[in-house]
Amino acid sequence: MKNWDDEFANAIYIEGATDYITSWENESRAFREEVAINNKAMLNVPYGDKTRNKYDLFLPKDKPKGLMLFVHGGYWLDFDKSYWSHFAKGSLESGYAVAIISYTLCPSTNIPQIIGETTIALDVVAGEIDGPIYLAGHSAGGFLVSRLMCTDSHLSISTKQKIERCVSISGVYDLRPLMHTKMNKDLNIDFETAQSHSPVLLSPRKGIEHVCWVGENERPEFLRQSQLLKDMWLGFDISHKVYIDKNKHHFNVIDGLRNAESPLCKLLFSSRM
C-alpha cells in the first residue's frame, strides 16, 4: 500500500528546507518595510469578519494594469500572508498590483470554509483595482485558486469576467489521497469533501485559461496530480497546459514570481499562453 504521508512530504526531501522558510519570512518583512516607505502598500486590510481574514495590497510604480492575487500554501495548516510579500516583485515590475491574503487554518476550520473565505477575498480585492485579474497559488494555494475556476464557484459574475488566467504552482487537485495521511486528523477531509471539492472531479468554467506549473524535482505525487488535472479537464472548452520547471523543487519553484523576466512571470501575464 502506498505511503501517502511520504508522497506529500516535501521538506524532508529538500536540503536546507528550514532555511527557505526563515528566508521567506525575513525577506518578506524587509520588502514590506521598503514599500511602506514609498506609500505603495496597504497592509492588514480586512476582507471578512474572521481574525485571519486580512490581505496586503502592493501597488506598482505607475497606475496598475490590473491585479494579481496570490494564495499561499502550507496544507491549509501553516503560514499566513506575512511570508510571501517579496514574491510580489515580479508582478509589480510587470505593472500589476498584488494582493496576498491570509485565511483561517485547519483544524479551526475546514477546507470548504477556506474555499469560501478565498472566494470572499477575491471578490473584495477585485473591487479595489481596475483591469484584468491574474490568479497564482502555491501548493494548497494552488488548489484554492484552481477551485475558484470551477463551474460551481460562488465568485460574483463581475469577478469571474475579470479573471484572465490562473497559474497553480505545485498545486493539489485531488483531495482523496490526503484522506489517508496523518495530517488529515487536522484537515478532516472526508469522502464527501473530497468528492465535492477536488478539481479533478469537477468541471472548469468555459473559456478559462489555467496552468499547472510544477517543479521537475517535486515529489512524484505533485507531478502526477498536475498531469491528472490536465487529463481530466481535456475536452472542456478551456486553455490548459502543464509546465514542468527544470531543476526546481517544491520550495524554489515559486522563485520566478520575484522576477518579471522569469518564464513564470512571463507566462502569468503573457497575451497568449
How many domains is the chain built from? 1
* Strand bridging mode 163-169 / 209-215: parallel
Mean pLDDT, the chain, whole residue set: 98
Region 155-167 average pLDDT: 98
User: What is the model's pLDDT at position 272?
Assistant: 72
Tens digits of residue pLDDT in 100-141: 999 999 999 999 999 999 999 999 999 999 999 999 999 999
Separation of alpha carbons 101 and 98, rounded Å = 10
Question: Is the distance from CB of 195 to CB of 114 less than 8 angstroms?
Answer: no
273 pLDDT more than 80? no
- Would you call the peptide bond into 107 cis, given omega within 30 degrees of 0 as the criterion? yes
Separation of alpha carbons 16 and 186, rounded Å = 26
pTM reported for the whole predicted model: 0.97
Separation of alpha carbons 27 and 38, rounded Å = 17
Closest CA to 240 of 263, 198, 273: 273
Reported as type and span, the H/E element at residue 181 is: none
Instruction: Provide the residue range defining the domain that includes 26.
Output: 4-269
pLDDT band, residue 182 (cuts 50/70/90): very high
CATH number (domain holding residue 22): 3.40.50.1820
- Other CB atoms within a 10 A radius of the CB of residue 104 amount to 17
Grid cell in block for residue 145:
485558486
